[in-house]
Amino acid sequence: MAESERESLRETPLAALHRELGARMVPFAGYAMPVQYPTGIIAEHNHVRTAAGLFDVSHMGQAVLRGPDHETTARALEAVAPGDFIGLAPGRERYTLLLTEDGGIIDDLMVTRPTGDAPDGMLLLVVNAARKEIDYADLRTRLPASVRVEPMEDRALLALQGPEAAAVLARHVPGVDGMGFMTARPGSFDGIEVGVFRSGYTGEDGFELALAAADAETVARALLAEPEVKPIGLGARDSLRLEAGLCLYGHDIDVMTTPVEADLLFAIPRRRREEGGYPGAYRIFREIDEGPGKKRIGLRIDGKVPAREGAPIKDAGGAHIGSVTSGGFGPTVGAPIAMGYVDAAHAADGTPVLVEVRGKDYPAIVSPMPFVPHRYFRKSAA
């Protein structure tokens, strides 16, 4: 990274620690971020699958949505996003979308209703780094005066992911190993106040920790001192989320794609599908009834050559039917994988297609996602 470029980038509270650990830093969403450490992306990827990896995701936007009471705040958010926030119980987290008036995706984000001493009208938001200023401006324009968006600038966000994550974190925050997927609670990490969320972006079990920026290095060093934990960069984060079939904003979803096209209807519960009352509902209703013109699909590609973003997807006869939006080699799958959009007529699982890479067509099969099964921790019913 050139010196002039480095000077123009923002840094997270862990930037010095990343460099101490030998990270290769790259520009990402306006920040200098670690793409990999000396062991390399594949070793980092495999470590998350078998043990526990620590990710710095402090570049993400954290904000409070604050209103006079829960119903007021929740109804205000339901007017701009298609989730069920009125029914969101304390200590629960929900994935949702901000939509344009035509149903395009402005951003995908996480919404949490906090527990403990948090005011009744408070919701916590985590938004994508490259979209946070756009999201905050959009919310301020569309929310009523009684509900405010308050960015939390002096915060850090760490993600501990992998099958050993719960056991590791429980040594520092007792009781978190009993939390269910998509739940949240306040905690004390060796005396440091943290917000604990059992969620992540890898398909593995794991947690995200929200905390004051000043405490981030102390917590990170404590976790990295555990024998199961290694630092993980953006490269492995991308290969893990691709194998998990998870979208990356600006690549797999954007303002030109709808939730139906992107196969994200799980983010719109039945009540909202029936009632509407959010931007773009008319188009989403139509696409649910009639089907969209294009669909997001997964691809397993023959051979060893990975297809990258923008690679043309063709039908068996060579006609162009879509494009790859994310692609690479899947270390756990052991083969090239990709996701992209194709005409709906060619989107059925098992459909044979061709993917063009550097002027050569490679056979591929439309494949169900995730490519690697999710291993989220879901508590059994009592």
**Res 378: pLDDT:** 86
**Res 7: pLDDT:** 65
Q: Does the structure show a pLDDT above 90 at 327? A: yes
Q: What pTM was computed for the model?
A: 0.96
Q: What is the mean pLDDT of residues 246-273?
A: 98
Pairing, β 52-56 against β 229-231: parallel
Q: Output the average pLDDT for the chain.
A: 96
Angle made by CA atoms 196, 197, 200, in degrees to the nearest 5: 130
Strand order in the sheet with 92-99: 92-99, 105-113, 122-127, 61-66, 148-151
Peptide bond into 90 cis (omega under 30): no
Q: Does the structure show a pLDDT above 70 at 112? A: yes
Q: Does the structure show a pLDDT above 80 at 382? A: no
For residue 42, name the pLDDT band (cuts at 50, 70, 90): very high
**Res 63: pLDDT:** 98
Q: Does the structure show a pLDDT above 80 at 116? A: no
Q: What is the mean pLDDT of residues 237-264?
A: 98
Closest CA to 326 of 231, 254, 266: 254
Task: Determine the Cα–Cα distance for residues 136 and 269; give it in Å rounded to an integer.
Answer: 24
- The per-residue pLDDT for range 223-236, each reduced to its tens digit, is 999 999 999 999 99
Percentage of the chain modeled with pLDDT above 90: 96
**Res 5: pLDDT:** 53
Angle made by CA atoms 116, 111, 12, in degrees to the nearest 5: 90
Q: What is the mean pLDDT of residues 106-113?
A: 98
Q: What is the mean pLDDT of residues 262-281?
A: 97
Three-class SS state of 16: helix
**What do you get for the CA distance between the two ends of the chain, in Å?**
53
For residue 292, name the pLDDT band (cuts at 50, 70, 90): very high
User: Can you list the domains of the chain with their CATH numbers?
Assistant: 3-58+154-243 (3.30.1360.120), 293-367 (2.40.30.110)
**Res 381: pLDDT:** 46
E strand segments, 100-228:
105-113, 122-127, 148-151, 155-161, 184-189, 192-197, 206-212
The CA distances from residue 8 to 5, 133, 213, in Å, are: 5, 17, 20
Element (H, E) at 234: helix 234-243
Q: Does the structure show a pLDDT above 70 at 265? A: yes
- The per-residue pLDDT for range 170-184, each reduced to its tens digit, is 999 999 999 999 999
Q: What is the mean pLDDT of residues 112-121?
A: 90
Q: For residue 98, give the amino acid letter.
A: L
For residue 94, name the pLDDT band (cuts at 50, 70, 90): very high
